[in-house]
């Protein structure tokens, strides 16, 4: 047999760590850091977005990510305002922005500590950029789900059901936002994920408690902020009992 007739074996598959199909190629962004290009990379190639945040001046990227978060959270809050109307048209969007921003600021120090405990030698600007990118992705997902929330906010008067729907949408957004943090952390050298798992639990609990602290988000109220201390699980149970008529209803506050 002629050696030239010998069939060439197929190439061996690359190792699992060689590429990151979930987040795209690990390399710089293609194109200028415009709003459209930033959102395109956030949704399709977040690894390239994080690479640019880590290795290059990222002021414009952070500006677009922050603006996207502001718009997404505000519009989703506006949809929530349709449930009760009145002052909730402006109060709910403002509380969405305040709640998410405060949750990020309150948990940012612990995120930095957990990253360093996991041997991730990253500058603070990179950790901050990843957190901002995750919140931007969460906000875009909430914005995409806003039409579904709108149809229920304008057609039902059940506070527990609407609260459950918003909670479900929030957890979906959190899943993808936190998944972005985990995948990029692996690309940046994270070996074990239990530190980030602990931080994720903290972040989720803070956001849920923040929703109760800033109540009302859905129901009618004459006050922007109640100031009454209450654990979020107790608050949810009270609303369900009030809806069933077992306790006097005091509104979503």
- Average pLDDT over the chain reads 82
Closest CA to 93 of 119, 120, 74, 66: 74
Q: Is the pTM of this model over 0.75?
A: yes
User: What pLDDT score was predicted for residue 253?
Assistant: 39
Q: What single string gives the DSSP state of each residue in 115-155? A: HHHTT----HHHHHHHHHHHHHHHHHHHHHHHHHHHHHHTT
User: What pLDDT score was predicted for residue 109?
Assistant: 95
What is the average pLDDT across 72-76?
Answer: 96
What is the average pLDDT across 101-112?
Answer: 95
Specify the residue for token string 């969405």: 96
What is the average pLDDT across 242-246?
Answer: 63
pLDDT in tens, 143-188: 999 999 999 998 988 888 888 999 999 999 999 999 999 998 888 8
C-alpha 25, offset from chain centre: 22
Q: What is the CA radius of gyration of the chain?
A: 22
User: What pLDDT score was predicted for residue 29?
Assistant: 83
pLDDT in tens, 199-212: 999 999 999 999 88
Where do the domains of the chain lie?
41-244
User: What pLDDT score was predicted for residue 130?
Assistant: 94
User: What pLDDT score was predicted for residue 237?
Assistant: 79
Strand extents, DSSP E, 131-242: none
Q: What single string gives the DSSP state of each residue in 46-111? A: HHHHHHHHHHS--HHHHHHHHHHHHHHHHHHHHHHHHHH-TTHHHHHHHHHHHHHHHHHHHHHHHH
pLDDT at 103 over 80: yes
pLDDT in tens, 31-54: 888 899 999 999 999 989 988 888
pLDDT at 14 over 80: no
pLDDT at 22 over 80: no
């Amino acid at each position: 047999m002629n050696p030239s007739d010998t069939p060439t074996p197929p190439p061996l598959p690359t190792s699992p760590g060689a590429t990151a199909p979930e987040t795209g190629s690990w390399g710089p962004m293609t194109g200028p850091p415009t709003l459209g290009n930033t959102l395109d990379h956030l949704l399709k190639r977040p690894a390239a977005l994080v690479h640019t945040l880590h290795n290059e001046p990222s002021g414009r990227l952070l500006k677009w990510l922050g603006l996207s978060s502001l718009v997404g959270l505000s519009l989703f809050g506006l949809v929530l305002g349709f449930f009760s109307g009145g002052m909730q048209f402006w109060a709910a969007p403002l509380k969405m922005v305040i709640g998410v921003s405060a949750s990020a600021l309150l948990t940012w120090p612990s995120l930095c500590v957990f990253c360093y405990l996991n041997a991730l030698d990253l500058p603070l600007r990179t950790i901050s950029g990843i957190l901002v990118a995750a919140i931007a992705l969460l906000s875009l997902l909430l914005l995409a789900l806003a039409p579904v929330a709108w149809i229920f906010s304008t057609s039902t008067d059940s506070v527990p059901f609407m609260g459950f729907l918003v909670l479900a949408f929030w957890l979906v957004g959190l899943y993808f936002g936190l998944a972005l943090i985990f995948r990029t952390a692996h690309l940046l050298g994270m070996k074990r994920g239990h530190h980030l798992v602990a931080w994720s639990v903290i972040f989720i609990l803070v956001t849920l408690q923040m929703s109760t602290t800033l109540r009302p988000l859905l129901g009618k109220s004459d006050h922007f902020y109640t100031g009454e201390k209450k654990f979020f699980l107790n608050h949810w149970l009270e609303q369900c009992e009030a809806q069933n008529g077992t306790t006097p209803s005091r509104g979503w506050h």
